[in-house]
Amino acid sequence: MKNKKEVGMTVIVKTITRLTVGLILLYGIYIVLHGHLSPGGGFAGGVIIALSFIHLMLAFGREVALKKLSQASASILESLGAIMFLGIAILGFIGGYFFLNFFLHKGKPFALFSAGIIPLCNIAICLKVGAGLFAIFAALVLFKGSDEK
């Protein structure tokens, strides 16, 4: 940490981060997609995805992480997730009710593509949660960064 040029943590941490960050991301996506079959769901998965980016930011410094997902695009993704979720809710009106699970065939139980709107909602929530929490964290860290200088 003494060397100012070196951003982020030590080489060991960086190497391990490089190996694990993809796995964490994948695990988050898995949890989101299987939210209607097994424990987890959009929220937990979204937090895990956000954590993978936060992991990057902690290990490599904020520039690297923000290059992968900038704050502005996180903000846009978040709004998109929110609108998507609201849109799914409004689409229920085609069946006559707000928030109706409008798929007539709910699919086979235990299959990945089943349960009507539930997986779609999970994806929307995941987008929202992941992008939103990353935006919060980036805002807090960036604020602190500018504070120290």
Partner 1 sequence: MELQVLLLFMIFAAIAAVEIEDLLSSVIAVGAVGLGLSLVFLILKAPDLAITQLVVEILCLIILIRATINKDLPLIRDGRWIFNTFSTLLFVALFLIFAYFALKELPIFGQPIMRVAKEYIEKGLEKTGATNIVAAIILDFRGYDTLGEATILFTAVMAVLAVIRKVGRINEK
Partner 2 sequence: MLPFFVIIPLGAAFLISLLGKKIKNIDDVLANLGTASLLAFSLYSIILVNAHKILVYKVGSWVPPIGICMVLDGLTSFMLVTVNLVSFVVTIYSISYMKRYTDKHRFYTLFMLMLAGMNGIIITGDLFNLFVFLEIASIASYALVAFGTEAEELEAAFKYAVMGSVASSFILLGIALLYSYTSTLNMADISLVLSQKGTGLLVNFVLVLFLMGFGLKAALVPFHAWLPDAHPSAPAPISAMLSGVFIKTLGVYALCRVLFNILGVSHNILFVLIMLGVISQIVGAILALAQQDIKRMFAYSSISQIGYIIFALGIGTPLAILGGLFHLFNHAIFKSLLFLNSGAIEYATGTRDLKRLGGLNSQLPITGYTSLLGSMSISGIPPLGGFFSKLIIIIAAVQSGYIGFAIIAILVSILTLAYYLKFLRFTFFRKFSETWQKTKEVPLTMGLSMIVLAVICIVSGLLITPLFKPFLQSAVNVLLTGNSYKDLVFGAIR
Partner 3 sequence: MNGYSEYMLCFMLFCIGLYCVLRKRNIIKIIIGLGIIEYAVNLFFVLVGYRSHGRAPILAKDQTILNMVDPLPQALVLTSIVIGLAVTALIVAIAIRIYEKYGTFDITKIRRLRG
Site for partner 1, rule CB under 8 A: 31, 35-44, 47-48, 50-51, 54, 58, 75, 78-79, 81-82, 85-86, 89, 98-99, 101, 106-107, 109-110, 114-118, 121-122, 124-125, 128-129, 132-133, 135-137, 139-141, 143-144, 146, 148
Least distance in angstroms from the C-beta of 122 to partner 3: 12
**Closest listed residue to residue 99, CA positions, set 83, 85, 119, 114:** 85
Phi/psi class of residue 38: alpha, beta or left (left: φ > 0; alpha: ψ in -120 to 50)?
beta
Q: Which is nearer to partner 2, 61 or 116 (CB)?
A: 116
**Closest listed residue to residue 100, CA positions, set 85, 88, 84:** 88
Residue 66 binding partner per list partner 2, partner 3, partner 1, none, with a CB distance cut-off of 5 to 8 Å that depends on partner kind:
none
Taking CB under 8 A as the criterion, the residue among 97, 108, 139, 145 binding partner 3 is 139
Start-to-end CA span in the chain (Å): 16
**Which 77-136 positions form the footprint of partner 2 (CB under 8 A)?**
79-80, 82-83, 86, 89-90, 92, 95-101
Q: How far apart are CA 80 and CA 132, in angstroms?
A: 11
Work out the angle at residue 87's Cα, subtended by the Cα atoms of residues 134 and 73, and round it to the nearest 5 degrees. Answer: 30
Residues that bind partner 2 (CB under 8 A): 75-76, 79-80, 82-83, 86, 89-90, 92, 95-101
